[in-house]
Structure 1
Amino acid sequence: MDLSIVIPLLNEEESLPELTEWIERVMRDNNFSYEILFVDDGSTDDSWEVIQKLRAQNSNIKGIKFQRNYGKSAALNEAFRVAEGDVVITMDADLQDSPDEIPELRRMIVEDGYDLVSGWKKKRYDNTLTKNIPSKFFNAVTRRVSKIKLHDFNCGLKAYKKKVVKSIEVYGEMHRYIPVIAKWAGFRRIGEKVVEHRKRKYGVTKFGWDRFVNGFLDLMSITFVGKFSKRPMHFFGLIGLVFFLVGFITSLILIISKISFADYTVTNRPAFYIALTSIIIGVQLFLAGFLSELISRNAPGRNSYLIEEKIGLH
């Protein structure tokens, strides 16, 4: 199969028929074999009923319905598990992403050899104050931390080799950091393509200001996990060693002073408490490092979601 089109959605009943028709037209024009994977993230409107009707008209349409809202990362992760296409395309359901971009995205994966291609909405139609300015700041920080030269990490329109989506795990709010996750997994051929950003035709945006706060916390988390998940002792041990050496050297100075000067009192000096505290913190960090080496970062059930119904999938 050439393509898997993955579309997470929440309350998008109005846009789904038009989006599906558009995708089908692009697939026919390019003679692609394909599947469309809709993931209903706990919609409260008739989105699932619309998906069922679309499935009845086209067997290439498949669907997953969450019992409640888990978030975009959960939706993508579940779709990645079952996707069968050699190239996986993700896009939003609100018609702000253009399916006409799909052939070129696929070409960049198949012919240019990229592992992942991320869309860049160079010209946006969002509210400048609430979305554009925070987004530019967010992307600048992420570029600096991750060393990945992308302008728009959070663009929903992306293309992946099948091997990439089968090798990574997306959870929490990590969907905006998939390029970073892919890089830490060893997929370093990451490209970018300027894509069309369309005005929202139906409904309202599902994202608020809290996504930027959560985003930076997630960036810190994914950076730590990416660098130290296989060697946490390198992180905790280094800091622990610094604290322990500070405490040990300070203690040594106090002991030498006590030996050299008979009337020198150790316990009533600030340096004594600094040394004691530093040694304790150093030992604790060492223990944390050893324990982290023994405990897997993959908590049981972290990506276990209650799925109410599936169509077209085993």
Structure 2
Amino acid sequence: MNISVVIPLLNEDESLNELYDWIATVMQSNRFSYEIIFIDDGSTDASWDIISKLSQTHPEVKGIRFLKNYGKSQALHAGFEKAKGDVVITMDADLQDSPEEIPELYNMIVNDKFDMVSGWKKKRYDSVISKNLPSKLFNWAARKTSGVKLHDFNCGLKSYNHEVVKHIDVNGEMHRYIPVLAKNAGFSNIGEKVVQHQARKYGVTKFGIDRFIHGFLDLITIWFLSRFGKRPMHLFGALGGIMLTIGFIFSVYLGIDKMFLNPHGRLITQRPQFYIALTTMIIGTQFFVAGFLGELILRSKPNRNRYTIKNAINLN
């Protein structure tokens, strides 16, 4: 199979038939073998009914329905697990991503040998204040922190080599940072393509300004995981060592001062340096304990239940 198209969605019943027809036209005109995997992330409208009807007449349509809304990251993870195509394309279901971009995204993976290609919506049809400016700030911070030189981390239109989606773990709200996850997994040949952005035709956006707040918090998380995710003791041990050293220096100073320089002065417990020494040594010990706990957790394999599937269509 040439291409798997993975489409997470939430309450997009008005656009699904049109989106399918558009994708099918592009695929057939380019003679691709393909599958379309719709992941219904807990929709409360008729989205699942439409997916079910499409699957009855079009065997290339497959569907996963979550029991409730788990989020885009979990939806993508479920789609990646089931994808069989040599190239995996992700896109949104709101018709703002153009399927006409699929052939070039496919060629960049197959012919140009990119591990993944991220879309760049250079010209956007969103609100300048609520989406464009926060998005530019967010992307700037993501580039500086991650070292991945992309202009648009948030673009849902991306293409992947099959091996990439099978080796990355998308959870939480980390779908914004899939290029960073891919880089951390060793897939460093990441490209970018300017793609067409369509104005929303149906419905309303599911994202508000809070997504950028969550995005910055996730950015800190992924920076920490990429730097110290496999060696937490390197961070916490270093911080603990610094704090213990500060406490030890203050303790030595207090001891020398009391014994030799000012034996008849105030008691050690009456001096602020004593509490500085005590506090820093306690904090340093806690950092060391945190580092050891991190190493123990890292070596364990918890069973993480990310989502519960309610229905599935055409999945082996």
Q: Does the C-alpha gap of structure 1 residues 299 and 44 become closer, same or farther in structure 2, counting only changes over 3 Å?
A: farther
Counterpart secondary structure, 2:39: strand
- Tell me if the contact between 1:171 and 1:303 (Cα under 8 Å) persists in the aligned partners: no
2:82 aligned residue: 82
Q: Is the 8 A contact 1:41 1:72 kept in 2?
A: yes
- One-letter code aligned to 2:166: K
Give 1:304 shift.
2.8
| Correspondence for 1:213 | 213
In structure 2, C-alpha distance between the alignment counterparts of 1:240 and 1:269, rounded to whole Å: 24
Alignment of 1:220-299 (within 5 A): 220-261=220-261, 262-264=263-265, 265-296=267-298
CA offset digits 1:60-88 (Å, max 9, x no partner): 11000011111111100001111101110
In structure 2, the residue matched to 1:51 is 51
1:296 alignment partner AA: L
Structure 1 Cα separation of the partners of residues 163 and 191 of structure 2: 16
Return the TM-score normalized by structure 1.
Answer: 0.98
Q: Check if 1:123 corresponds to 2:123.
A: yes
Over 6 Å off, 4+ runs = none
The alpha-carbon deviation at position 182 of structure 1 amounts to 1.1
1:196-207 correspondence to structure 2 within 5 Å: 196-207=196-207
Instruction: Give the Å deviation of 1:297.
Output: 8.0
Contact persistence 1:64–1:309 (CA under 8 A):
yes
Secondary structure at the aligned position of 2:233 is classed as helix
Counterpart for residue 315 of structure 2? 313
Question: Quick one: which amino acid aligns to residue 283 of structure 1?
Answer: T
Q: Is the 8 A contact 2:171 2:306 kept in 1?
A: no
TM-score (normalised: structure 2):
0.97
Counterpart residue number, 2:143: 143
Q: RMSD of the alignment, in Å? A: 1.2
Summarize the alignment of residues 53-72 of structure 1 with structure 2, pairs less than 5 Å apart: 53-72=53-72
Identity of counterpart residues, as a percentage?
62
The C-alpha deviation readout for 1:127-171, integer Å capped at 9, x for no partner, is 111110110111111111011111100000000111111111111
Letter in 2 for 1:45: D
User: For 1:193, what is the secondary structure of its paired residue?
Assistant: strand
Distance 2:300 2:133 in 1: 35
Contact 1:229 1:297 in 2 (8 A): no
Q: How many residues align?
A: 314
Unaligned runs of 5+ in 1: none
Task: Determine the structure 1 residue equivalent to 2:160.
Answer: 160
- Deviation at residue 207 of structure 1 after TM alignment: 0.4
For residues 199 and 230 of structure 1, the distance between their equivalents in structure 2, rounded to whole angstroms, comes to 42
Residue 183 of structure 1 and its aligned partner are, at CA, apart by 1.1
> Using a 3 Å threshold, how does the CA distance of structure 1 residues 58 and 33 change in structure 2: closer, same or farther?
same
1: CA distance, partners of 2:143 / 2:303: 31
Shift of 1:303: 4.1
Return 221-230 or 187-196, whichever deviates more. Answer: 221-230
Matched, 1:104 2:99: no
Q: Which amino acid aligns with 2:283?
A: I
Q: 1:300 Cα deviation (Å)? A: 3.5
